[in-house]
Each structure stands twice: as C-alpha cells, then as structure tokens.
Amino acid sequence: MKIIIAILIFSAIILFHELGHFLLAKRAGIGVNEFCIGLGPTIVGFTKGETKYSIKLLPFGGACMMEGEDGDSDASNSFRSKSVWARISVVVAGPVFNFIMAFVGALIIVICVGYDRPVLSGVMEGYPAESAGLQEGDEIVKLNNKRIHLYREVSVYTFFHNNEAIDVVYERDGKQYETTITPQYNEESGRYLFGFYGNMEREKGGILDTLKYSVHEVNYWIYSTVESLKMLVTGQVGLNELSGPVGIVKGVSDTYEESAAISAFSVFISMMNWLIMLSANLGVMNLLPLPALDGGRLVFLIIEAIRRKEIDPDKEGMVHFVGICLLMGLMVIIMFNDIRKLF
C-alpha cells in the first residue's frame, strides 16, 4: 500500500504538470499527438480526436507530445506555427500548474492543522540568542532582510546560513527591535547554534489568514528548493546526496510507515506535505534554464521574442537533444545512488 501511495503521489504531480501544457496547448490551437503518464511501452491507451491518451509501463514521468514541438511540421496546428507568446504560455503552464497544485495542498494543510507562526518558545542559556536579548514569546520578523512568516522559515534559513552572523528583526509587545546574532559552535552536535528554538504548535485563523499562510507554505518549499540548488552548484552537497524517483518513493514509504503508527489523519497530513514539497520542487526544477527542461525552452522563446526572429529549429533541437542525453545520464547516476542506499 505504501509504495502504491508513493507512486500515486508522484504520478499525480507529473499528471498535473503535463495537464498544464495540455490545456494551454489546446487553448492555443496546438495539436497534441499524445498525452501520456509514465515512460516506456504503452500498457493501455485510446484515441479521441487528434490525441492519443495512454498509460505507460514505468510509473515515472509523463509527456504532452505536441505537433511540431521538436521538429519541422507544416501543419497549421503545429507548435511553431503559433505566436511566440502563445508558445511561452504553453511552456510555462507546466511549472505554474505545479505551483497551483502545491498551493491547493498547502490550503488543505492549513485548513486542517493551521500554520506555525515564528514565535520563540525559549532561548538556550549561554548561547548568542540569550546574549543578543531574545526572549521567549518574541516573534521573528526578518532574518537578514528576508521576511519571515513561518517558524520553519527560521529553521531553514539558519540551516543554510549556519556559520554566518545574522541580523534579526523581532517583535515584542507590539514593538520591533533589531539585533545581530553570531552562531556559536557546539562540539557535541558538531554544528553552529544560534541558541533559540521555536514553538512548532500550529494555530488557525480566518479565511484571509488561511489563504495568506497557504501562499507562505508554498514559498517556504520554493525557497528550500532554491537554496538546496545553490548548495549543489557551490559544491556544498554532492550528487550522492540527491534523490531521484526511487529515493522519493522510499522517502514517502518510510514517512507512511511512521505516520501509520500514529493515525490515519497523520498519514493524510504527511502525504499532503510530500505532495506540496514535490510539486513545488518540480515547478522550480523545470524553470531552470537548462536544455530539455521547460526553462531551457523558455530561454529560446524569450530570445525569439526579443529578436522577433525564430531561432533555427535544427540548432535548438540539437541543444535540447544534448540536454536530454545529459539529463538521462544524471538520472541514471541518481537512480544508481538511490538503489545503492537501499542495501
């Protein structure tokens, strides 16, 4: 059951991403040759109108295959026959739909369990937070000019800046104060500590608060993804620490087991958190300006819009082909690492 749930979550996220491309393509009058979920040979499929709808053997990935997207086509409904702005809307729709899905998931979470305000529940004696004057009940407003709305944002920000001095703006009794905290190395834990901890209890608000904190929830996961990518680019984390579909399925399965020991409601909330995280992550990853990804295609379209002249399709196709080859090679490495971690 846990593996099935993990695959369903993964498939639902990809389905919604491809649905974004599909709906905007149809709206722009672009022909969709095939809309599929999964990779590899077709298990089952049917054709309706111009489009073949199918389910593939491997339950990872999916595609919205548009007429003339990656090659020449003289058809009036081909991808390249439409205006550059119509094509931009189709390309960007996938990531946007992922962010919409993440927001809907966040909305459900906030309605069910509320949100965690960035209020301190205490400070550690002898650590920088105490010396800086922070106290229980203080609400963190900003960290180095980054606006804070959730306590998890405090946790993730200090994680990514764990050996840097941080300017802190906090609120106490309706007034704002500012201080600077330089973390102190703790030999026992082997990491730098600022010396404060937060109240992870969640609270609920009205309709406007629910909507607002749902947006903050999505922003939290987008920020976490972007910062993680920065660590990868700067060499702070290696490829061995990345997870692909196999690692994700294992992570979801492990979380399911832990949550199932508590309650069915805990399972539901945990799975929704995975859905939000993965959907926001996929949205960000697909917007990266890399060949074969939506972000790479977007770069070519933006250049075309600026130049008011189409880029040679053969040259663009070659760039995306190389990108696909490199991406597949990376996926093989990540999958090998995921499998190796299982044993």
Please give the structure tokens belonging to residue 131. 């010396």
Cα gap 112→263, rounded to integer Å: 14
The count of C-alpha atoms lying within 13 angstroms of the C-alpha of 286, restricted to the half-sphere facing its C-beta, is 23
Secondary structure of residue 85 in the 3-state scheme = helix
Secondary structure of residue 83 in the 3-state scheme = coil
Residue 308: its H or E element: none
Alpha-helical (H) ranges within 114-237 are: 128-131, 151-160, 207-233
- Cβ–Cβ < 8 Å for 77, 30: yes
Cα gap 272→1, rounded to integer Å: 16
Cα gap 89→305, rounded to integer Å: 13
User: Is 18 an active-site residue?
Assistant: yes
Residue 171: its H or E element: strand 166-172
Cα gap 150→117, rounded to integer Å: 5
Residue matched to tokens 């492990």: 254
DSSP bridge pairs for 53:
35, 46
Cα gap 139→121, rounded to integer Å: 10
Please give the structure tokens belonging to residue 72. 């020449």
Q: Active site residue: 18, 67, 153, 316, which one?
A: 18
Please give the structure tokens belonging to residue 341. 């971690």
Cα gap 201→113, rounded to integer Å: 9
Q: Give the active site residues.
A: 18
